């Protein structure tokens, strides 16, 4: 009797049918045994405790591909194609039909995708540092309303409605103190900055009730950047000046959907730049 195979993030990424009676060291899918762990598990691989079949001597073709440092061709969310790329440096949205890569320039795409995910099975893999192999262990989602994503080392359970509320809740604070600060420990300086920005601590108090939830971390990660948030939530001092002086024009609106506000879209592949 053959082994029961199942869909893994790697199999959605690679799309190969590498079937056989062996199990993949990384993702646990069936594989032929053509790729040995000896050759394809580098001594520098540090996540040995979280692989699916640590005793296996083999790796599937799809995991080999998902760890490529020179993957021949990838397609980004905005349609751009890049050649010979490190897979781990990108975020991925995977379905049976396509694999879409994303960087920090495509945060709005990732946000929209999580709020309105594709038909299952799908995988949403969010690389934060770009340094770790996380694709092989990304969860495969089978339900559009409640599903898990991986954000660097964390598995985060997504309730879309709750995520939407958290995104709304964190936006004013992102405007005041930035994306990193809203999920860091609050200090006296945090309270002072928020008070100075809004003239009250209302937004901060509301957010504080949720800020330690895993989903809040995801909301902060997916949030618009500080500059964009400030278009909607202005500093009270700036507001007053603008009201006094009608010649001061409103800050230029940015289109959060195309990521054009990012200065280093071309050069940067890493997703994590929460400023």
Which residue, 29 or 271, is less far from Zn ion as judged by CB? Answer: 29
Tokens 């092989």, residue?
Answer: 136
Question: CB under 5 A: which stretch of 3-11, 80-88, 142-150, 161-169 binds Zn ion?
Answer: 3-11
Shortest distance (Å) from residue 42 CB to Zn ion: 15
CA atoms within 13 A on the CB side of 266: 0
Shortest distance (Å) from residue 31 CB to Zn ion: 7
Which residue, 24 or 87, is less far from Zn ion as judged by CB? Answer: 24
Shortest distance (Å) from residue 3 CB to Zn ion: 13
Shortest distance (Å) from residue 64 CB to Zn ion: 8
Name which of residues 13 to 72 contact Zn ion (CB under 5 A).
24, 26-27, 29, 60, 63
Measured CA angle at 19 (ends 50, 65), to 5 deg:
55
Shortest distance (Å) from residue 257 CB to Zn ion: 34
d(CA 257, CA 232): 15
Question: CB under 5 A: which stretch of 6-14, 15-23, 88-96, 221-229 binds Zn ion?
Answer: 6-14
Measured CA angle at 9 (ends 267, 166), to 5 deg:
70
Which residue, 26 or 221, is less far from Zn ion as judged by CB? Answer: 26
Diameter of the chain measured on Cα atoms: 80
Number of residues that bind Zn ion (CB under 5 A): 7
Which residue, 40 or 197, is less far from Zn ion as judged by CB? Answer: 40
Count of CB atoms within 10 A of residue 112's CB? 15
DSSP conformation class of 267: T
Helices and strands counted in the chain (H then E): 11, 9
DSSP conformation class of 210: T
Residues forming contacts to Zn ion in the complex (CB under 5 A) are 10, 24, 26-27, 29, 60, 63
């Amino acid at each position: 009797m053959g082994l029961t195979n199942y869909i893994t993030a790697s199999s959605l990424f690679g799309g190969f049918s590498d079937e056989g009676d062996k199990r993949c060291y990384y993702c646990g899918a069936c594989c032929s045994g053509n790729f040995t762990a000896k050759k394809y598990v580098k001594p520098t691989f540090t996540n040995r405790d979280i692989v699916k079949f640590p005793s296996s001597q083999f790796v599937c073709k799809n995991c080999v591909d998902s760890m490529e440092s020179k993957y021949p061709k990838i397609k980004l969310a905005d349609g751009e194609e890049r050649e010979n790329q490190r897979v781990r440096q990108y975020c991925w949205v995977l379905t049976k039909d396509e694999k879409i890569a994303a960087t920090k320039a495509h945060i709005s795409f990732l946000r929209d995708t999580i709020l309105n995910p594709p038909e299952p099975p799908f995988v949403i893999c969010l690389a934060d540092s770009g340094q770790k192999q996380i694709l092989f262990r990304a969860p495969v989602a089978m339900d559009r309303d409640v599903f898990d994503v991986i954000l660097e080392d964390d598995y985060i359970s997504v309730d879309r409605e709750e995520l939407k509320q958290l995104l709304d809740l964190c936006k004013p604070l992102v405007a005041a103190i930035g994306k990193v600060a809203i999920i860091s420990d609050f200090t006296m300086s945090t309270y002072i900055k928020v008070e100075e920005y809004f003239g009250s601590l209302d937004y901060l108090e509301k957010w504080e009730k949720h800020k330690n939830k895993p989903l809040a971390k995801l909301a902060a990660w997916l949030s618009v950047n500080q500059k964009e948030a400030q278009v909607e939530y202005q500093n009270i001092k700036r507001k007053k000046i603008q009201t006094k002086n009608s010649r001061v024009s409103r800050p230029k609106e940015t289109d959060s959907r195309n990521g054009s506000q990012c200065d280093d879209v071309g050069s940067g592949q890493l997703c994590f730049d929460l400023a």
